[in-house]
Amino acid sequence: MTGYFITFEGGEGAGKTTILQAIANQLTEEGYEVIATREPGGIEIAEKIRSVILDPSHTSMDGRTEALLYAAARRQHLVEKVLPALKHGKIVLCDRFIDSSLAYQGHARGLGMDEVYKINEFAIEDCMPDLTLLFDIKPDEGLNRIQANSCREKNRLDLEEIRFHEMVYEAYQLLLNKFPQRIHSIDAHPSIAEVEQQAYKKVKAFIGNM
């Protein structure tokens, strides 16, 4: 039996992390076996790579180095955590995956989505998500939300110019058009509770035949 690999994507401040946790709790209460995890990170080695990538003092990090580090963290997380869970029939909810690299490094950093896809193909082999929820929020609104939430840690990518985040937004729209079967867009402008409801419905519809 294989489980379901569901990824949550979107720009900064879309609320996806909070919503992912709420959906994981809800599904667990309903009796599903669920793991909630995140990228970059989720396991010790990948969390260490995360701290190198996101350290605000690492201003000289080259774009390709950044892309390779994300791919390396992804590989280790997949092998150590995601694949074993899927093998046991669990539902894996993962905060960000390959689409983040395509959007942030491929498009916004200008490395090219096809180039970044290639290194990720090496990292993930053929393990693409079964379903991806894209939390759609305009960059200026997302960044305002982050600023309003003073508890949230600011990382190196949060510090990018608004243009960078607009490119990320644009990239996600390109990906939505490219993978219409896999990626489902969710309007993230309403309240977190409403967005959570929409996301929960999508996930339930997808796993409904389990």
Residues near ligand TYD (CB under 6 A): 12, 17, 39-40, 54, 70, 95-96, 100-101, 104-105, 155, 157
Q: Tell me how far, at minimum, the Cβ of 210 lies from ligand TYD, in Å.
A: 27
Nearer to ligand TYD, 3 or 42 (CB): 42
Q: Tell me how far, at minimum, the Cβ of 80 lies from ligand TYD, in Å.
A: 16
The residues, ordered by sequence, that sit 6+ positions from 140 with a Cβ below 8 Å of its Cβ are 162
Q: Tell me how far, at minimum, the Cβ of 156 lies from ligand TYD, in Å.
A: 8
Residue 85 · residue 92 · CB < 8 Å: yes
Task: Return the exposure string of 131-162: e unless at least 16 CB atoms fall within 10 Å of the residue's CB, then b.
Answer: bbbbbbbebeebbebeeeeeeeeeeebbebee
Retrieve residue 120's tokens.
């990720």
Nearer to ligand TYD, 100 or 132 (CB): 100
Nearer to ligand TYD, 130 or 158 (CB): 158
Cα angle value 46/48/57 (rounded, 5°)? 125
Q: Tell me how far, at minimum, the Cβ of 51 lies from ligand TYD, in Å.
A: 11
Question: Which residue is associated with the tokens 């999508």?
Answer: 202
Nearer to ligand TYD, 21 or 155 (CB): 155
